[in-house]
Structure 1
Amino acid sequence: MASIVRSLRPVASRFAASSSRTARSWPISQFQARTFSASSAAQAKKYTKDHEWIELSEDKKTGYIGISEYAAHALGDVVYVELPTIPMEVAAGDSIGAVESVKSASDINSPISGTIVAVNDLLEERPGTINKGPEDESSAGGWVAKVEVSDAGIKDLDGLMDAAAYKEFTEEE
């Protein structure tokens, strides 16, 4: 199976072009303006060049893994998700499962080293959950696996992109 990045190349330019055409600028009145703050957990989300993400807990001992929103939209309707077995020792870049859509099939790779300790069983029953919330680590979200981070996994984080760098990366594809 191909990695997510190889599966997305043919559709990436169409996705980027269509998303920029549909973006709208809405006027905001003084009563509609809201401010939002980012939590430290949200700032811990990192991305790979293969379009996987990991969001670490505040203590950086566990994290959730999934595919990015960009990848989920580019893949189209997900029809099947192969989940990893638990427990499973993984190194950064190891295949932990697969996702099949109406357009293609792709491996899901671990962004960091560690031990897979839980999986999102909801995806076996309703694989389309990935399309609805690919970067949602709640119980109803599209996350794929929960990982206990190893010492090597902490070092692996240095090679990953933050949200701003990932956005720039996807715009270049």
Structure 2
Amino acid sequence: MLRSKVIGAFVALVAGLGLVAAGTAPAEAHARHKTGYTQVVVAPDVYALVAGAGITPAPIEGAKAAPYKDTLAAKFPITGYSLGKLRIKHSGGISLTAGAATISLKNFFIDLGRLRVSGEVSGSIGDVGRADLFKIGLSDRRDLGVVRLRLTDTAAGALNATFGVEAFSAGDTFGYATPKPFSRF
């Protein structure tokens, strides 16, 4: 039930913004260039925790970040999509740094079929490769984003290991996301 609501919300958003051409929708369609962006807003309590711990976020590889409603919003370019696989691909990413400790998360895939967001992970803990970072769920803060991003075990463990803390747990809300296909980046 929840899965169909989340997928339904994303499909309605994507269709409403023009990713599906009027009249026809091929089973498999791929964008070949930047087609908008996805905005991710860090949950205010997570942003306070990160800032309080001296962890500095910074956009990397073409992403953008700016203050937003007492927190931080990052924009990641959409570089492709697959309607058949229910996947939206992105470039760019974000790094989190405190002293010599750093972790970089980039090249995100929103996978609606699995209700997950994956990304390439590297940093002080080594090159992890592609990993599931967030579980996608319905937003409890629509003013911050269409869907809620909850940390996976892998993401929480990588953050804790990188910064030598026990502040992050699987299932914690990390932030909120809103894809904006065909919007100006």
Band of TM-score, shorter chain = under 0.3
Report which of the two has the higher share of helix: 1
TM-score by length of 1: 0.27
Higher relative contact order (CA 8 A, sep 6+): 1
TM-score by length of 2: 0.26
Report which of the two has the higher share of strand: 2
